[in-house]
Amino acid sequence: MCGIVGILGRKPVSGQLVEALKRLEYRGYDSAGVATVENGELGRRRAEGKLQNLEARLADEPLMGRIGIGHTRWATHGAPTETNAHPHMTKRVSVVHNGIIENFNQLGSELKSAGVELSTDTDTELIAHMVTRELDAGHDPAVAVQHALRRLEGAFAVAFIFKGHDNLMIAARQGSPLAIGFGDGEMYLGSDAIALAPFTDTITYLEDGDWAVMTREGVAIRDREGMAVERPVQKSVASALMVDKGNHRHFMAKEIHEQPEVVGHTLAHFIDFANERVHIPDLSIDFASLNRISISACGTAYYAGLIAKYWFEKLARLPVEIDVASEFRYREIPMERNGLALFISQSGETADTLAALRYCREQGQNIASIVNVRESSIARDSDLVLPTLAGPEIGVASTKAFTCQLAVLACLAIAAGRARGTLSEETEVELVGALSEVPRHMSAILREVGAYDALAHTLAKAGDVLYLGRGVNYPVALEGALKLKEISYIHAEGYAAGELKHGPIALIDEAVPVVVVAPRDGMFEKIVSNLQEAAARGGQIVFLSDAEESAAGCDLMTAIKLPAVHTFTAPLVYALPMQLIAYHTAVFMGTDVDQPRNLAKSVTVE
């Protein structure tokens, strides 16, 4: 969601702040701003829309302060206007904020009763006024912030600078992530390590309840009780070079084409290819003793979990319960102690998933997580971390993170089957061999993208698109529909093909494309029957299969021939056509592919 940066530098920092904010654009935003302290005075520049608008404002009205904070805002309270953009200021303090203050109305009423005039619709402005009131009462900045923080309810990250203090920044975290970076006579603050990568690779992550007093000489961290604490200092794996688009037009295109490499890296981390065996480092789970697995995730990660449900239940004969994280904890699920709760998240900061994790911890579950950021909150709260090696994913619509999640889940399902005695050694060798071929199959698909460009011209005219799949490929259809919705804004829905006659077939006419995920597997003949039903109603069939076009037995609008793959690995391979269809359609339509409207990369509020 919103992105926060802060710099205590030795030269004017406004340009560096904007460059750092550019590295947070992938999180999604609708306005931006920076504030600095110059000659003891607070100065601020803000702009609605993209960062280029803020750069233009700074070119006309420079800020020369050597300490500053910056922000990209994704609107929650208040419309996405310049007035509501961060930083928010009073005469004594400037603040940037990521998150939602849940007792916003109560605090607002209290401030208005005290005679404070509010000029915006945001919850963030309240924080600035609360700290100012404490400063006016005679408290120093650290005490003023501490007192104000005690009144805030919700999930948030905040950073403050103060009038008259050109060597002081205070930051706090409750739910939303914050990283502190160490330089040579300089200090940095960011929502994640990617923002700080050009400046430093030496990072400390604040934990929930922490607040930090930063100067150019270092940082003092206190917990929510005000006790001094030490947090680990670590080397970040985020690289300044890893977030360049290279020769690609969009980050999403780059990340689609990186999949053969990053999926190969992820598989190599969990497979001993020389002996054709799965090897999970530091595996502390006794799968033989489990009665079920509870999976929780959001968005695309949820669809990865749905695919894993098929794998765990078939290979390990282990029941799986899966929920979208935003609903999971509100069901108040009775959970047997010592069960396994598995969480999937690209960022490792998804608020709903983190809340579900903490519910499971209270229920006595063993906690395992699949994340792309090893230093994330979800990873730090887990007993077992299974990392994906996708590297930074900048495009809001997940691509390589999804297929790397599937690679980890496939390996974990094999490990579970072997541990439970439901999967023979010979079958493990067969499945590992199939996984080893996935990067090659992905590369073959990416060499033949012309058909997707042609298909985009047709899909761009559609008002509705249906995606059909059966068995383990049903979630692939769901993911394909989500991708198209996310970046092209065309309404699309995924269905289990066998459900076609139970309602969705009423939608089909000559104007409705129907994308059919149809690898030649044990369900192939059944899904061909379903597509024939759709074709008979005039549906424009897009046939994705390793089978010959004639196997469909009806006229097709488009047939895209895919590599013949093992049924086990089909979801990893068929994920790429889903991504390519959405990408080429969105490019043809001229939408903002990497930062689609209203969406954020990391959803750090519930």
- Residues with a catalytic annotation lie at 2, 601
| Contact criterion met (CB below 8 Å) for 491 and 589 | no
- The alpha carbon torsion through 207, 208, 211, 216 (nearest 10 deg) reads 30
Assess contact for 197 and 238: CB atoms under 8 A.
yes
∠ CA 373-377-378, rounded to 5°: 80
CA distances from 188 to 17, 179, 212, 218 (A): 10, 8, 12, 10
At residue 326, what is the residue type?
A: S
Question: 99-124: b or e for each residue (b if 16 or more CB lie within 10 Å)?
Answer: bbbbebeebbebbeeeebeeebebbb
Q: Are strands 320-324 and 340-345 parallel, antiparallel or unpaired?
A: unpaired
Is 424 strand, coil or helix?
Answer: coil
Are 505 and 602 spatial neighbours (Cβ–Cβ below 8 Å)? no
- Assign 432 to helix, strand or coil: helix
Q: Which one, of 195, 586, 235, 604, lies nearest residue 392 by Cα?
A: 195
Torsion of CA 258, 261, 267, 270, to 10 degrees: -100
From CA 351, how far away is CA 357, in angstroms rounded? Answer: 10
Rounded Cα–Cα distance for residues 330 and 410 (Å): 29
Contact (CB, 8 A) for 481 and 582:
no
Alpha carbon distance 141, 243 (integer Å): 36
Q: Produce one character per residue of 158-190: b if its CB has 16 or more CB atoms within 10 Å, e if not.
A: bbbbbbebbebbbbbbbbbbbbbbbbeebbbbb
